[in-house]
Amino acid sequence: MIKLAASVIVAIGLTACSAVEQKDLPANSGVSNALLEDKPKEWADSYAGNPSVQAFIDKMASQHGYDRKTLELAFSHIKRRPKVIEKSDNQPEVLIPYYQYKTRFVNQDRMRAGQKFALRNAKWLNKAEQEFGIDPHVVVALIGVETYYGRITGSKDVFTSLTTLAFDYPRRETYFQSELEAYLLLAREEGWNIGDTKGSYSGAMGMVQFMPSNYQKLALDYDQDGHIDLWHSEADAIGSVANYLKHHGWTTDQPWFVTAQVADLATVEEQVNKGRSPSKNMTEWSAVNVLPTQPFVINKTGLIGLRTSPNEVSYWLAYENFFTVMDYNPSRRYAMSVLELAKSIGAYEAK
């Protein structure tokens, strides 16, 4: 009976928290006023009323010494964002054929914008190439595909998006709970108010669209101004992308892919788009009548097949660096778009 009474008191207290007006939000609460704009009417309708979230709050408080009142306040002001679930289940990298998907990124506008980005950031791109061995065109193209060189970084509250995916998207709840944990620790470290951080529907942030754990581990203060800013500092974005690719295994001065001819698809069909790393050397591929149609090196490759028109599938033999780009986004359509844009930027500069 005593436990029940205590629970009722806590619930009443949190209901009061969720009902406060924006002007009444405690000063220095660590929670963004913006979370109050679409707050749940009742505490029970908020994420704070979810037992799994309460267990998560317990973990943050016990393992990380996180202020429980701050978390209670933040979670009591948000509810499930259905659009996040819808977009997670309908990603263009999965649904759209390559010949349509790539037109979003491999086009004249993005190529020219990439050249301008490269020219004004030549100092930082050269520095990143020297320190990490990453082709500057790949760094530029990756930022171009992710956010159009910082023009489109996302307008959704990262906290609500991550919470929705952490507790209402069972297929990847473990991953997103770890990213929510990383975001909250990052917010505390960086002095961000919870809910102020804007990003993609999946919680990716800045012009490089780092998830919180990657922001923690791999983001760099490349311009050395004392602050990592992946939203506004192009230098920080360049250094961070180069650091990411190097961390995931980019090999300097190695090719990305070569076009290939597949003589007998039935023989190798199960090996097309299989795995996340190279599987055979060129001798092994030639033994199954998969032959490069461009100059090549003998390193191991994987066989990539993408639809390049409604009635045609084209094939490539992809080296390790191709799969390193896939570590950024595990889609072959994505990786090929990044690398084709990189080639286009390079060709444009050479004119």
| Per-position DSSP letters for 75-99, written without gaps between them | HTT----HHHHHHHTS-HHHHS-HH
Query: Which of the four pLDDT bands, split at 50, 70 and 90, describes residue 91?
Result: confident
**Sign of the four-CA dihedral 240, 246, 248, 250:** positive
Annotated active-site residue 340? The verdict is no
Provide the sign of the torsion angle of the four alpha carbons 201, 203, 206, 207, taken in this order. Answer: negative
Q: What are phi and psi of 201, to 5 degrees?
A: -65, -20
Q: Residues 146, 179, 181, 320: which is the catalytic one?
A: 146
Q: Which residues contact 50 (CB under 8 A, 6 or more apart)?
A: 75, 167
Confidence category of residue 348, pLDDT binned at 50, 70, 90: low
Lowest mean pLDDT among 5-9, 91-95, 127-131, 210-214: 5-9
Q: The whole model's pTM is what?
A: 0.88
CA atoms within 13 A of residue 194's CA, in its CB half-sphere:
30
Q: Which residue has the higher pLDDT, 75 or 2?
A: 75
Where are the extended beta strands (E) located within 145-296? 156-157, 198-199, 257-262, 290-292
